[in-house]
Amino acid sequence: MLPIVITLIASLFATPTLVANKATKAPIIDGKPTDACSKAATWLPIDQVWLGKPMAKGDFKGRYKLSWDSKYLYVLAEIEDDTLIDIHPDGLDKYWDDDCLEIFIDADASGGDHLASYNAWAYHTALDGKTTDFGPNSKPHYYNEHVITKRITKGNKTVWECAYAIYPDTYVDREKNTPLTLKKGHTLGFAIAYCDNDKSPERENFIGNVFVAGEDKNQGYKTADIFAKLVLK
Ligand SMILES: [Ca+2]
Ligand SMILES: [Ca+2]
Ligand SMILES: [Ca+2]
Ligand SMILES: [Ca+2]
């Protein structure tokens, strides 16, 4: 009986396999969720608190949709956040303590450590659209050319529309790197999260889309093991 119960409990928390449908027409990255692929995709929740105290009503609410074509993984995120702040004028300085969208990509779904390698990516896209991650020298780099992004904020609601080129783990700094041509049936490692700060020196909450076991849930920036599998359909 006990093994069955353990299996059932484990299945409740197992990282889900996500599916993204192919966009027959590429969306226009303008922050408007009016493209056919955006309308057709299903909303998925960003509801797992990875860092910080339980949040009060109105502090944060997030959901996202995915689609793809041969050139990009398209991420549409709708974030409700009571206060948007950017307290680090230098985009390479503690960018995770400003409000930002974080997209985790592991091109070959290998899992494993990626803190100081390109085995996987933890792209932090800031309010100004600048996109950052740690490079192999353990220092933050800009990877603005890896993503096309646009956000529109109305009141407390921000729609982020982003197109991420998918770079393999053979990526080398300052060399010509070619993103993958995405194909039906390809499986990526993927996660999405939001760094929410409203008024503190450090971010108040970090909310992701996948359940992370254990006490320390802030794992995605260093290991791709917690990412979901994302199948391109
Ligand atoms: Ca659009
Ligand atoms: Ca907030
Ligand atoms: Ca990898
Ligand atoms: Ca905020």
Other Cβ atoms closer than 10 A to 112: 13
- Ligand 4 centre to CA of 200 (Å) is 10
Cα–chain center distance at 92: 18
Place of tokens 């909450």: 205
Tokens representing 182 are 């995405």
Q: Which ligand is nearest to the CA of 25?
A: 1
- Ligand 3 centre to CA of 83 (Å) is 35
Domain with residue 220: its CATH number is 2.60.40.1190
Q: What is the pLDDT of residue 11?
A: 54
Note whether residue 122 is domain-resident: yes
- Ligand 4 centre to CA of 89 (Å) is 16
Tokens representing 88 are 């680090």
| CA-based end-to-end distance of the chain | 37
Note whether residue 9 is domain-resident: no
Segment 151-195, tens digit of pLDDT: 999 999 999 999 999 999 999 999 999 999 999 999 999 999 999
Q: Which ligand is nearest to the CA of 113?
A: 3
Note whether residue 3 is domain-resident: no
Segment 203-232, tens digit of pLDDT: 999 999 999 999 999 999 999 999 999 999
- Ligand 3 centre to CA of 122 (Å) is 12
Note whether residue 61 is domain-resident: yes
- Ligand 2 centre to CA of 193 (Å) is 13
Other Cβ atoms closer than 10 A to 185: 8
Looking at every residue in the chain, the average pLDDT score rounds to: 94
Segment 113-141, tens digit of pLDDT: 999 999 999 999 999 999 999 999 999 99
DSSP label of 224: G
Q: What is the pLDDT of residue 5?
A: 58
Segment 62-82, tens digit of pLDDT: 999 999 999 999 999 999 999
Give the residue, 111 or 138, on which the prediction is more confident.
Answer: 111
- Ligand 1 centre to CA of 161 (Å) is 7
Place of tokens 């999405």: 192
Give the domain range for residue 193: 16-232
Question: Which positions ≥6 away from 87 have C-beta within 8 Å?
Answer: 97, 98, 197, 201
Structural domain total, the chain: 1
Q: Which ligand is nearest to the CA of 82?
A: 2
Note whether residue 6 is domain-resident: no
Note whether residue 146 is domain-resident: yes
Note whether residue 209 is domain-resident: yes
Mean pLDDT of the region 18-39: 98
- Cα–Cα distances in angstroms (integers) from residue 96 to residues 42, 75, 132, 139, in the given order: 28, 19, 10, 14
% helix, strand, coil for the chain, step of 5? 10, 40, 50
- Ligand 1 centre to CA of 125 (Å) is 17
Instruction: Return residues with CB closer than 5 A to ligand 2 (ion).
Output: 59-60, 81-82, 196, 198
Note whether residue 193 is domain-resident: yes
**Where residue 50 falls among pLDDT bands split at 50, 70, 90?**
very high
- Ligand 1 centre to CA of 105 (Å) is 22
CB 196 within 8 A of CB 58: no
**Where residue 16 falls among pLDDT bands split at 50, 70, 90?**
confident
Q: Does pLDDT of 23 surpass 90?
A: yes
Instruction: Return residues with CB closer than 5 A to ligand 1 (ion).
Output: 27-28, 30, 32, 35
